[in-house]
Copies of this chain bind each other. A is one copy, B any other.
Amino acid sequence: MSEINVGIIGFGTVGAGAYEVLCANREIIASRVGAEVVVKRIADLDITTDRGISFQPDRSLFTRDAMDVVRDPKIDIVVELMGGLETAKTVILEAMKNGKDVVTANKALLAECGPEIYRAAEEYGVGLRFEASVAGGIPVIGALKNGLSANRIQTCIGILNGTSNYILTKMTQEGLPFDKAVEEAVRLGFAEDPPTLDVGGADAAHKLAIIISLAFGAPVLFKDIYREGIVEVTPDDIRFADEFGYRIKLLAIAKDLGDTIEARVHAAMIPKDHILANVSDAFNAIYLEGDFVGPNLYYGLGAGRRPTGSAVVSDIIGLARDIRCGNRVRMPPLAHVQAPVRQIVIKPIEALVTPYYFRVTALDRPGVLSRIAGILSDHQISISSVIQKGRGRKGPVQIVMLTHEARESDAQKAISRIDDLDVVAEKTMVIRVEGDQP
């Protein structure tokens, strides 16, 4: 049987996971590819620490110099799992220049420098795959490239950050405040310390940029995606959401509006009976709607050595199948052979129209609700439900409102005026509402 040779650059969690999959399922993979897939070289700055996997690479495979891998004439597929931006980009471009196909899990790199990398793959005539860059083990990139390829993708709503979802799940199930939930997530290994990229929405926005690029066949950049995190969500918000029939999730949302595209990441309320509301703990899920397929959901583990290793190796298998058939570039990186039919124009967040949740903390004085309602009305915002609850005997009260659909710019102006009222004691919490109202 012929051999297809792989070089791995970056032997951390994901690199070791990919190596473990290739060893553990060597026979299955050979049967599916029709060739042996063999790891020929592994580059990492640390070539001595035990990675705790059940297969130990021979010491002779290791090098500290990534260029030893990308320039090795025996290697067919270079797997970039080092992370980071500049060095990773240099490694990938050099690998492509040397005629290697490339697999990467580097969501930040693709979301920030995608156009340059996609162009290089096409220019050098090599394959580029990145299933592991979005939602770990869930093959949603494959679904967008293949199974849903007959559709115009209309909606994507993703729970793409497992750390944030774990934290929100703990806050919901155990009533923990954000800081305590973060502590527990860090302690159990579900979060880095501090988990800034996760809870701030950047990680989910990286992944959303990649999903949109695939859905529309043209690169979208991280910087163009509006993002907020979950840092300000309180147990009160979660309880009020529950009373209104919603759960709070960090959602990555993209919608095709015809002339423009919505692309945003923020905490959002979603009806409890929506299938995404029941995605708990560190699980990820992506809800997609296509014009013909209707609603689709993909669910699984979005991180971790084994699921991410599974995704990386599925990409290696795909490229190895292409190589075995003598056809290295069956599909361009974004699975569109021709430029897409239309330009992607991302709608500014100010133009968003959606229902809102406002939690106003105000002194318990006569006329407060009427002043707040008056301001909302001035800005064409109409209220659909209100809950008012005292905090303690003399403290401020919480006035919580759900609105009908309103324009973001109006909501921002109204809340700014409300927060200027002398009776308002704290900054008002604003959470956008997704999905039909229950």
* A residues lining the B interface (CB < 8 Å): 1, 17, 20-22, 24-25, 27-34, 131, 137-139, 141-143, 146-152, 217, 275, 278, 290-301, 304, 306-307, 309-314, 316-318, 321-322, 324-327, 329-331, 335-341
Contact = CB atoms under 8 A, between A and B. Distances in A.
Contacts of A152: 25, 28
A297 B296 contact: no
B297 A297 contact: yes
Given A139-B147, A330-B325, A295 B300 contact: yes
Contacts of A131: 147
A217 B324 CA distance: 18
B293 A296 contact: no
B331 A330 contact: no
A310 B294 CA distance: 9
A160 to B, nearest CB: 16
Contacts of A1: 338
Contacts of A324: 337
Contacts of A149: 29, 32, 313-314, 317-318
B307 A292 contact: yes
Contact of A310 (B293, B327, B339): B293
A34 B337 contact: yes
Given A299-B297, A330-B321, A339 B146 contact: no
Given A148-B310, A152-B25, A325-B327, A336 B32 contact: yes
Interface centre among A1, A137, A150, A291 (most CB of B within 10 A): A150
Taken together, the copies of this chain in the complex come to 2
Given A290-B310, A293-B301, A331 B321 contact: yes
Given A296-B300, A297-B297, A297-B300, A311 B147 contact: yes
A14 to B, nearest CB: 12
Given A21-B292, A292-B306, 5 more contacts: A25-B291, A32-B217, A34-B338, A146-B146, A293-B310
Contacts of A307: 292-294
11 contacts: A31-B336, A31-B337, A137-B292, A148-B310, A149-B314, A149-B317, A292-B306, A293-B300, A294-B300, A297-B297, A325-B329
A63 to B, nearest CB: 25
A298 B301 contact: no
A143 B318 CA distance: 12
Given A31-B341, A306-B294, A307-B294, A150 B317 contact: yes
Nearest to A289: B300
A152 B148 CA distance: 25
Contacts of A20: 292
